[in-house]
Amino acid sequence: MPSALRELLPDGGLRRGTAVSVAGGDTGLLLALAAGVRETEGGWAAAIGLPDLGLAAAGGYGLDLSRLLLADDPGSHWPEVVSVLAGAVDLIMLRPDGPVPPKLAARLAAVLRRSGCVLLVAGPWPGAVLRLGVRSGRWFGLGDGHGQLAGRRVEVVAEGRGSAVRGRAARLWLPDEHGAARPYQEQQRAEQQPAEQQSAGQRLTERQPAEQQAAEQQPVAAVV
């Protein structure tokens, strides 16, 4: 799991055999969470009902594209596809084709518990143990009609039920300039350190001429 998201999740990761809801279906947050599948033994993932999923973006967040199965348009058969793939992969990203009835969600929850597969849903899901969403966000990099997007700074909130977290929030780059998830504070420190070093160097440079000048003005004792 990317370090940027660990503090938001119970036990620092996604619990096997559970469903997690990503409010608003934010693709960046969905991919950043899915990148945690690389820490599992198999590391296989699937994307169902996500025909617009950017594979380059998925790779940037850390997903292994050689272990990613795609079912772009399953239509109304998405529950059957989820049931079948849950026994073959470690994590499934899903966008249902409409509202999910609670009875259907409960039936698929039993499938997830048996298989240990994690279900990440782009949108609401009845009975989700954890709900995450982007509360605010801002893109950087574009000037006045020129430039290119360099990153998006967001605030992610998480809440859950039972022993899951409640009301926790974190500020992240999602993505940063390299296409990955990164804590916003970490990025700030990386940017501030060179500036601090430069200021220290300037103070040293300014002090040296003053000390040199003072030494030149010292009276010289005559040697007899």
What is the per-residue pLDDT for 141?
A: 66
CB 29 within 8 A of CB 14: no
* DSSP letter, residue 3: H
- In a domain? residue 72: yes
Domain that holds residue 19: 3-131
What is the per-residue pLDDT for 160?
A: 80
What is the per-residue pLDDT for 71?
A: 96
- In a domain? residue 85: yes
- In a domain? residue 25: yes
Taking the model in full, what pTM does it have? 0.74
What is the per-residue pLDDT for 173?
A: 77
- In a domain? residue 189: no
* CATH code, domain carrying 80: 3.40.50.300
- In a domain? residue 187: no
- In a domain? residue 70: yes
Beta bridge partners of 119: 19, 92
pLDDT averaged per 10 residues in sequence order, the chain, 224 residues: 72 88 90 80 88 90 92 96 96 95 97 96 94 78 60 82 67 75 60 47 50 48 36
What is the per-residue pLDDT for 192?
A: 46
Q: How far apart are CA 168 and CA 165, in angstroms?
A: 7
How many domains, in total, are found in the chain? Answer: 1
129, two tokens = 């143990």
